[in-house]
Amino acid sequence: MANVEDFDEIEFQAARTGNHVRAAVRMSKLAEGAEPGLRAEFHLRAGEQWMSADDPQRAADEFTAAIADGGSTFADPRVLLARALLDLEREAEARELISGLTADREVVTPRTCDLLAELFTEEGDLQGALDWATTGVERCIQLEDDAELQLLLRLRYRIRVDLGLDEDDYDHMLDTTKPRG
């Protein structure tokens, strides 16, 4: 039975070789037989490989499997499914998922906020991206997640610069916060 280290190794090899199709096929098969506590995460990671392999339909299938499984994942699978659906030009379905995430704004993880900010940036909606990056910063502060905080502060700062906004208190946190480690 597959474990996290197996998936890490597959991802490492895919990054090294660029063969994301092979990695995605292997991960998809392993995800099907994974134990319940890991299955959703493995489907999510397989979906990411399918996205890297430029196959958004197979990615969407994996993200849907992660949602159906209901197990814990590093980020809400709905945001990754929304990205795949946008690639498939199924905008109405993607917007419905994003609306659901917006309704859950108070409980989404900082990583989900980061992915949403990136998605909105890719879609050219910098104000939407800023809103999600700010939500992510606020969630990090609530959860005392210093590692993700640094990433979100930097992303938020870049978006604010692109929007031509002056620095604010969160931007100043970049100067005063340092990752622990």
Q: Are 63 and 134 found together in one domain?
A: no
Whether 91 is covered by a domain: the verdict is no
> Of 74, 97, 113, which one is at a domain's C-terminal end?
74
Per-residue pLDDT tens over the stretch 35-53: 988 999 999 999 999 999 9
d(CA 38, CA 71) in angstroms, rounded, equals 7
Q: Whole-prediction pTM value?
A: 0.90
Domain of 123, in residue numbers: 105-181
C-beta of residue 132 within 8 angstroms of C-beta of residue 148 = no
More reliable by pLDDT, 109 or 181: 109
Question: Does the pLDDT at position 178 exceed 70?
Answer: no
Whether 81 is covered by a domain: the verdict is no
Question: Does the pLDDT at position 180 exceed 90?
Answer: no
Whether 47 is covered by a domain: the verdict is yes
- Nearest Cα neighbor of 26 from 42, 38, 40 is 42
Q: What is the dihedral of CA 148, 56, 21, 33, to 10 degrees?
A: 80
C-beta of residue 30 within 8 angstroms of C-beta of residue 47 = no
Whether 89 is covered by a domain: the verdict is no
Q: Are 52 and 122 found together in one domain?
A: no
Question: Does the pLDDT at position 111 exceed 90?
Answer: yes
Per-residue pLDDT tens over the stretch 138-156: 999 999 988 899 999 999 9
Q: Are 49 and 111 found together in one domain?
A: no
d(CA 85, CA 93) in angstroms, rounded, equals 7
- Nearest Cα neighbor of 98 from 68, 119, 127 is 119
Q: Count of domains in the chain?
A: 2
Q: Are 121 and 63 found together in one domain?
A: no
pLDDT for res 177: 57
> Of 25, 57, 74, which one is at a domain's C-terminal end?
74
Rg (alpha carbons) of the chain, rounded to whole number = 17
